Amino acid sequence: MATRKGAACLGFGFRPAESAHHFLVTIPASNREDVLISEHLTWDENQAGATPTFAFGEAEGKLRVVLARAKWNAIADEARVEFNKRLKQDGLKSGSWKTGTNPVSRLLGKELAMLAWAIEEADPALIPTAVKNWLGLVPEERWWLYTMTSAATGHAIQGRNKGWRKAVRYALTENPVTDSPHEPPPVFELRSHATESHTETPTASPRRRARRPRDATKGGHAAPGE
């Protein structure tokens, strides 16, 4: 993926000069407070610390996940390592989680939100399984899952533990973990599980992508239409 030399890169791969669409991970100073993951369509450096909105249907600053601090701590390092590996492949600087607001690029933000959805209602003992299954997916699969889930049950509060959100949790936490890169978790069988629990689930049957080697994403994480 070609990168623009000199373009400012904030947090984890967010370059406002190229696209204002991004996610913010808000990490409170207190270890007792929840971590917030929100999606934003505009960028104003002076308002980067604004509180995400809980309003249903509000496009700007939409809150996607409210995650218990202990569960965030269980995935933060794994997400950081995965994202920094990809950023390095793209020739971008590494990121790190800090107290306050952390900008994340649009595509990496989708992947993070999808993982957070998988564990928000899960037994903490199953989080390592979810992380391993998440790592076993190629980025395009994570984007697809985010898009489907967001369309039906993407609101942080109203969508919690419903439809695709519940199906994503099932796929990543209750399926056997495999160390083989050719045997991903059966996430593309989610339609039946989501349909059973939420009537707003899209009715189109997803088609399984051809599996690519993990290093096939080297050189970028953007895809046509994303």
pLDDT at res. 207: 37
Half-sphere exposure of residue 11, counting CA atoms within 13 Å on the CB side? 24
Q: Would you say residue 138 has pLDDT above 60?
A: yes
Q: Would you say residue 221 has pLDDT above 50?
A: no
Contact 122, 130 (CB under 8 A): yes
Q: Where are the domains of the chain?
A: 22-210
CB atoms within 10 A of CB 93: 12
Backbone phi, then psi, for 67, in 5-degree steps?
-115, 130
Residue range 55-80: mean pLDDT, rounded = 85
Q: Provide the whole-model pTM.
A: 0.76
Q: Would you say residue 9 has pLDDT above 90?
A: yes
d(CA 110, CA 189) in angstroms, rounded, equals 20
Those residues with Cβ within 8 angstroms of residue 217's Cβ, 6 or more apart along the chain or in another chain: 86, 89, 138, 139
Q: Would you say residue 196 has pLDDT above 60?
A: no
Q: Would you say residue 78 has pLDDT above 90?
A: yes
